[in-house]
Chains A and B, each alone.
Chain A
Amino acid sequence: DTEVTQTPKHLVMGMTNKKSLKCEQHMGHRAMYWYKQKAKKPPELMFVYSYEKLSINESVPSRFSPECPNSSLLNLHLHALQPEDSALYLCASRRAPRDTSNYGYTFGSGTRLTVV
C-alpha cells in the first residue's frame, strides 16, 4: 500500500457544525502533515506530527484541532469554521522526520471543504 487515503472527499458544513477529516496511511511513515490549499495557490502547511506528537503548528486558529491517535491515522477536527476556511485540505506523509532519503512527501487526494 503506497497511498495516503483521505475521507470524506467532499464536505459541506455550516458554521455551527462540528466535523472531522480523516487521513490514513499504511506505509509505516512516521511524519504526517495537514495542508490547506486555496484554488490556484500552493498548499500552506498547517500542522506536522512526528512520531504521533505534534511538532509544528503554523499558528492555525483553534477552530482547527489536529489529532494523531496512532502512527497510521491523522484527524483534523473542525468546529465553528468560517466561510473563508473553505478550501482543499491535503494530508501528506513522509517516511520519518529525520528521513534523509529524497523521496519527499506522499500526498492524499484531499477533502474539498465548503463552509456555508
Chain B
Amino acid sequence: AQTVTQSQPEMSVQEAETVTLSCTYDTSESNYYLFWYKQPPSRQMILVIRQEAYKQQNATENRFSVNFQKAAKSFSLKISDSQLGDTAMYFCAFMRGGANSKLTFGKGITLSVRP
C-alpha cells in the first residue's frame, strides 16, 4: 500500500516571496506518478503540477516547480513569486501506473498568502 505524508498542516508566506511545501511518500512500486493539487475556497480540485517517477528532470509549470528526490521518496512543491490567488489547500497525491489505479492523497496543507 502507498502512503503520502504532508507533515505541515499550515504555512503562510508574504506576497511575492517563495514558499516550499513538503511531501514524502512510501511505495514499493517502480512505475508511478506524483501530483500536486490545489483546492481554493471555490472547492474545485485543480491540478498544479505532475511528475513521472521515471523522469529524473524536475517538472516545472510557470511559477510552480517540484524537487523530486526519488531515492529519498520526497516530492516538494516550490511556489515562486507567491500571489494572493495561491491561497488554498494543497494536496500531494500518488498514483501507481497501470489499470484502475487510484489517487492516494496526503492530508493537505493550508497555504495563506499575506498581502
Contact = CB atoms under 8 A, between A and B. Distances in A.
A110 B43 contact: yes
B17 to A, nearest CB: 24
Contact of A88 (B43, B97, B99, B107): B43
Contact of B33 (A92, A104, A110): A104
Nearest to B31: A100
Contact of A109 (B43, B50, B107): B43
B110 A107 contact: no
Contacts of A105: 45, 47, 103
Interface string B23-47: 0000000000101010000111111
Given A40-B110, A104-B33, A50 B100 contact: yes
Given A97-B99, A97-B100, A104-B103, A42 B91 contact: yes
Contact of A108 (B35, B44, B95, B97): B44
Contacts of B52: 102
B102 interface: yes
B78 to A, nearest CB: 19
Interface string A100-116: 10111111111010000
A52 B42 CA distance: 29
A107 B108 contact: no
Interface of B: 33, 35, 37, 42-47, 50-52, 89, 91, 93, 95, 97-100, 102-103, 105-108, 110
